[in-house]
A and B are shown apart, each in its own frame.
Chain A
Amino acid sequence: GESVGLHLPTLSVQEGDNSIINCAYSNSASDYFIWYKQESGKGPQFIIDIRSNMDKRQGQRVTVLLNKTVKHLSLQIAATQPGDSAVYFCAEREGSGSARQLTFGSGTQLTVLP
């Protein structure tokens, strides 16, 4: 299948600053996107999702932006906290066909500096 990739493998931010994690996808048939957070030794934890009929969705301290024109997805974390340090994965799901599994990117390591 087509791949999902991340622009930056690592990101360091100061506590209290905003974080932006980017993701490029290549499958134009994808209609559903998810961001997951994975802490060491744990499974991925759902953060926020967005459907392709939307370009922005907000949660608690997080915002996901979808730009279908350039096939770009971003996760914004406001007022980053030490507990936000983790690996963040974007994932996409193709809108048609029998393959309904998620395709994951390789992840971005977010480190929050004190």
Chain B
Amino acid sequence: GAGVSQSPSNKVTEKGKDVELRCDPISGHTALYWYRQRLGQGLEFLIYFQGNSAPDKSGLPSDRFSAERTGESVSTLTIQRTQQEDSAVYLCASSPTVSNQPQHFGDGTRLSIL
């Protein structure tokens, strides 16, 4: 597709379960970002990948959160032992480079923890 694609669009799970969220960036974009957006709030940076460099994990809120990316393609964000405070929309963005280029966002995965 032409844009950033995220799946699933919605995910409801029980507290304590693990979840895996997927992001397909725009083809050719070397940089990929994950953000979290709580209801009515701005975006909170989680992690970014740039090519084969070590990812910047400085925004991950706890060791329950991890993310992987294979080369310059798909990325997965995993949340282990989910808690109710993990309920949010998880947004993925990609950009051509890490320099001054706008990030293009997917429509996110709305995660609800029961």
Contact = CB atoms under 8 A, between A and B. Distances in A.
Given A42-B107, A43-B91, A43-B106, A102 B45 contact: yes
Contacts of A105: 42
Nearest to A100: B98
Contacts, number: 55
A89 B106 contact: no
Interface in B56-114: 56, 58-59, 91, 93, 98, 100, 102-108
A41 B110 CA distance: 9
B58 A99 contact: yes
Contact of B43 (A44, A45, A93, A100): A44
A100 B102 CA distance: 12
Interface in B36-51: 41-45, 48, 50
Interface in A5-34: 31-32, 34
B18 to A, nearest CB: 24
Nearest to B108: A43
Interface of A: 31-32, 34, 36, 41-46, 49, 51, 89, 91, 93, 98-107
25 contacts: A34-B102, A34-B103, A42-B107, A43-B107, A43-B108, A44-B91, A44-B105, A45-B105, A46-B103, A49-B100, A49-B102, A51-B100, A89-B42, A91-B43, A98-B56, A100-B48, A100-B50, A101-B45, A101-B59, A102-B103, A103-B45, A104-B35, A104-B43, A105-B42, A106-B41
